[in-house]
Amino acid sequence: MERLFVALPLPDEAVERLVDLQWGLPRARWSDPDQLHVTVAFVGEVRASEGAALRRTLADVDLPPVSLVLRGVGHFPGKGAPRVVWAGVEPTPSLLALKRRVDQAVGAANLRQERRRFRPHVTLARLSDTPSARVAEFEATRSLFRAPPMSVESVDLMRSVLLPEGADYQRVQRVQLRG
Protein backbone atom coordinates (compact mmCIF):
# COMPACT_ATOMS: atom_id res chain seq x y z
CA MET A 1 0.00 0.00 0.00
CA GLU A 2 1.10 3.54 -0.68
CA ARG A 3 -0.42 6.91 0.26
CA LEU A 4 -0.77 9.10 -2.84
CA PHE A 5 -1.81 12.61 -3.79
CA VAL A 6 -1.61 14.79 -6.91
CA ALA A 7 0.17 18.12 -6.52
CA LEU A 8 1.40 21.16 -8.36
CA PRO A 9 5.10 21.69 -7.81
CA LEU A 10 6.00 25.30 -7.11
CA PRO A 11 8.40 27.42 -9.16
CA ASP A 12 11.56 28.49 -7.30
CA GLU A 13 10.35 32.11 -7.12
CA ALA A 14 7.16 30.97 -5.33
CA VAL A 15 9.14 28.88 -2.85
CA GLU A 16 11.40 31.86 -2.08
CA ARG A 17 8.40 34.10 -1.39
CA LEU A 18 6.76 31.48 0.81
CA VAL A 19 9.91 30.80 2.83
CA ASP A 20 10.02 34.54 3.60
CA LEU A 21 6.68 34.08 5.42
CA GLN A 22 7.88 31.22 7.62
CA TRP A 23 8.73 32.88 10.93
CA GLY A 24 7.14 34.32 14.03
CA LEU A 25 5.03 31.46 15.40
CA PRO A 26 5.99 29.53 18.53
CA ARG A 27 5.79 25.74 18.35
CA ALA A 28 5.36 25.78 14.57
CA ARG A 29 6.85 22.97 12.49
CA TRP A 30 7.62 24.85 9.27
CA SER A 31 7.33 22.96 5.99
CA ASP A 32 10.65 22.29 4.31
CA PRO A 33 11.06 24.39 1.14
CA ASP A 34 11.46 21.27 -1.03
CA GLN A 35 8.15 19.90 0.31
CA LEU A 36 6.02 22.99 -0.51
CA HIS A 37 3.28 22.26 -3.06
CA VAL A 38 -0.40 22.76 -3.89
CA THR A 39 -2.43 19.59 -3.38
CA VAL A 40 -4.82 19.15 -6.30
CA ALA A 41 -6.31 15.82 -5.17
CA PHE A 42 -5.68 13.61 -2.16
CA VAL A 43 -6.04 9.97 -3.18
CA GLY A 44 -5.06 8.16 0.03
CA GLU A 45 -3.94 4.57 0.57
CA VAL A 46 -3.91 2.49 -2.61
CA ARG A 47 -2.64 -0.94 -3.66
CA ALA A 48 0.21 -1.19 -6.17
CA SER A 49 -2.20 -2.08 -9.02
CA GLU A 50 -4.37 0.97 -8.22
CA GLY A 51 -1.30 3.23 -8.17
CA ALA A 52 -0.27 1.87 -11.57
CA ALA A 53 -3.76 2.55 -12.96
CA LEU A 54 -3.62 6.11 -11.64
CA ARG A 55 -0.20 6.68 -13.24
CA ARG A 56 -1.66 5.59 -16.59
CA THR A 57 -4.73 7.82 -16.36
CA LEU A 58 -2.71 10.82 -15.15
CA ALA A 59 -0.36 10.43 -18.11
CA ASP A 60 -3.36 11.30 -20.32
CA VAL A 61 -3.95 14.69 -18.64
CA ASP A 62 -3.62 17.09 -21.56
CA LEU A 63 -4.01 20.68 -20.42
CA PRO A 64 -2.02 23.88 -20.83
CA PRO A 65 0.22 25.16 -18.02
CA VAL A 66 -1.58 26.44 -14.94
CA SER A 67 -1.57 30.08 -13.86
CA LEU A 68 -0.70 30.13 -10.17
CA VAL A 69 -1.38 33.17 -7.98
CA LEU A 70 -0.40 33.10 -4.29
CA ARG A 71 -2.41 35.46 -2.13
CA GLY A 72 -3.03 35.93 1.58
CA VAL A 73 -2.54 33.64 4.55
CA GLY A 74 -4.89 31.80 6.88
CA HIS A 75 -5.28 28.76 9.08
CA PHE A 76 -7.19 25.50 9.49
CA PRO A 77 -9.50 24.59 11.09
CA GLY A 78 -11.82 27.57 11.02
CA LYS A 79 -13.07 26.83 14.55
CA GLY A 80 -11.05 25.73 17.54
CA ALA A 81 -7.29 25.69 17.97
CA PRO A 82 -5.33 26.47 14.78
CA ARG A 83 -3.44 23.37 13.55
CA VAL A 84 -2.12 24.55 10.16
CA VAL A 85 -1.12 27.92 8.72
CA TRP A 86 -1.22 28.31 4.95
CA ALA A 87 -0.67 30.66 2.05
CA GLY A 88 -3.69 31.01 -0.19
CA VAL A 89 -3.83 30.08 -3.86
CA GLU A 90 -6.37 31.84 -6.08
CA PRO A 91 -8.69 29.36 -7.81
CA THR A 92 -7.81 30.54 -11.33
CA PRO A 93 -9.74 29.07 -14.28
CA SER A 94 -6.68 27.06 -15.35
CA LEU A 95 -6.24 25.63 -11.82
CA LEU A 96 -9.92 24.67 -11.63
CA ALA A 97 -9.72 23.04 -15.08
CA LEU A 98 -6.73 21.01 -13.88
CA LYS A 99 -8.60 20.00 -10.72
CA ARG A 100 -11.54 18.73 -12.81
CA ARG A 101 -9.23 16.80 -15.15
CA VAL A 102 -7.27 15.25 -12.28
CA ASP A 103 -10.52 14.22 -10.58
CA GLN A 104 -11.55 12.55 -13.86
CA ALA A 105 -8.22 10.69 -13.96
CA VAL A 106 -8.70 9.51 -10.37
CA GLY A 107 -12.22 8.30 -11.23
CA ALA A 108 -10.99 6.60 -14.41
CA ALA A 109 -8.51 4.65 -12.26
CA ASN A 110 -11.52 3.45 -10.21
CA LEU A 111 -10.32 5.27 -7.12
CA ARG A 112 -12.53 7.12 -4.67
CA GLN A 113 -12.53 10.87 -5.11
CA GLU A 114 -12.14 13.22 -2.19
CA ARG A 115 -15.41 14.76 -1.02
CA ARG A 116 -14.04 17.89 0.66
CA ARG A 117 -14.40 21.20 -1.11
CA PHE A 118 -11.26 22.22 -3.01
CA ARG A 119 -9.52 25.01 -1.09
CA PRO A 120 -6.20 25.53 -2.87
CA HIS A 121 -3.39 26.48 -0.50
CA VAL A 122 0.23 25.81 0.41
CA THR A 123 0.81 24.51 3.92
CA LEU A 124 3.41 26.73 5.59
CA ALA A 125 3.47 25.06 9.01
CA ARG A 126 1.78 22.63 11.34
CA LEU A 127 1.08 23.96 14.81
CA SER A 128 1.16 22.43 18.26
CA ASP A 129 -0.46 24.50 21.02
CA THR A 130 0.38 27.78 19.30
CA PRO A 131 -1.69 30.54 20.95
CA SER A 132 -4.56 31.73 18.75
CA ALA A 133 -3.55 35.34 19.39
CA ARG A 134 -0.12 34.66 17.87
CA VAL A 135 -1.74 33.07 14.80
CA ALA A 136 -4.00 36.12 14.43
CA GLU A 137 -0.92 38.37 14.65
CA PHE A 138 0.89 36.21 12.07
CA GLU A 139 -2.05 36.54 9.68
CA ALA A 140 -2.48 40.28 10.27
CA THR A 141 1.18 41.05 9.50
CA ARG A 142 1.03 39.02 6.28
CA SER A 143 -2.50 39.86 5.13
CA LEU A 144 -1.26 41.76 2.08
CA PHE A 145 0.92 38.89 0.87
CA ARG A 146 0.61 38.42 -2.87
CA ALA A 147 2.95 37.01 -5.49
CA PRO A 148 2.73 37.82 -9.20
CA PRO A 149 1.11 35.18 -11.43
CA MET A 150 3.41 32.29 -12.27
CA SER A 151 3.12 29.48 -14.75
CA VAL A 152 3.31 25.87 -13.56
CA GLU A 153 4.06 23.47 -16.38
CA SER A 154 3.69 20.09 -14.70
CA VAL A 155 1.65 18.14 -12.18
CA ASP A 156 3.11 15.46 -9.92
CA LEU A 157 1.83 12.23 -8.46
CA MET A 158 3.32 12.16 -4.97
CA ARG A 159 3.81 9.49 -2.33
CA SER A 160 3.41 10.55 1.29
CA VAL A 161 5.46 8.55 3.77
CA LEU A 162 4.38 9.20 7.35
CA LEU A 163 7.30 9.52 9.77
CA PRO A 164 7.38 10.47 13.48
CA GLU A 165 8.71 13.93 12.57
CA GLY A 166 6.09 14.46 9.85
CA ALA A 167 5.30 13.37 6.31
CA ASP A 168 8.00 12.99 3.67
CA TYR A 169 6.82 13.59 0.11
CA GLN A 170 8.37 11.71 -2.80
CA ARG A 171 7.58 12.29 -6.45
CA VAL A 172 6.32 9.14 -8.20
CA GLN A 173 5.47 10.64 -11.59
CA ARG A 174 5.65 14.03 -13.32
CA VAL A 175 3.21 14.89 -16.11
CA GLN A 176 4.06 17.86 -18.32
CA LEU A 177 1.20 20.26 -19.01
CA ARG A 178 1.37 21.12 -22.70
CA GLY A 179 -2.23 21.49 -23.84
Residue 148 Cα distances to 13, 68, 89, 105, 172, angstroms: 10, 8, 11, 30, 29
Say if CB 58 and CB 102 are below 8 A apart: yes
pLDDT tens column, 127-150: 999 999 999 999 999 999 999 999
pLDDT the model gives residue 63? 92
Q: Where are the alpha helices (DSSP H) in 60-157?
A: 93-108, 132-141
Residues 22-30 have a mean pLDDT of 96
pLDDT the model gives residue 93? 96
Mean pLDDT of the chain: 95
Write down the domain spans for the chain.
Answer: 2-41+50-176
Between 59 and 178, the higher pLDDT residue: 59
- Could you give the CA distance from residue 158 to residue 170 in angstroms, rounded to a whole number? 6
Query: Per the residue annotation, which of 38, 121, 124, 138 is the catalytic one?
Result: 121
The fold of 2-41+50-176 is Cyclic Phosphodiesterase; Chain: A, (3.90.1140)
Residue 125 CA from chain centroid, whole number = 12
For helices 48-59 and 93-108, the axis angle rounded to 10 degrees is 140
Closest to 55 measured CA to CA, from 161, 169, 155: 155
pLDDT the model gives residue 27? 95
Residue 121 Cα distances to 91, 125, 170, angstroms: 9, 12, 19
- Could you give the CA distance from residue 126 to residue 31 in angstroms, rounded to a whole number? 8
pLDDT the model gives residue 86? 98
Binned at pLDDT 50, 70 and 90, residue 3 comes out as very high
- Could you give the CA distance from residue 79 to residue 74 in angstroms, rounded to a whole number? 12
**Residue 37 a catalytic site member:** yes
- Could you give the CA distance from residue 50 to residue 172 in angstroms, rounded to a whole number? 13
Q: What is the pTM of this model?
A: 0.95
**Residue 121 a catalytic site member:** yes
Query: Per the residue annotation, which of 6, 21, 37, 169 is the catalytic one?
Result: 37
- Could you give the CA distance from residue 27 to residue 9 in angstroms, rounded to a whole number? 26
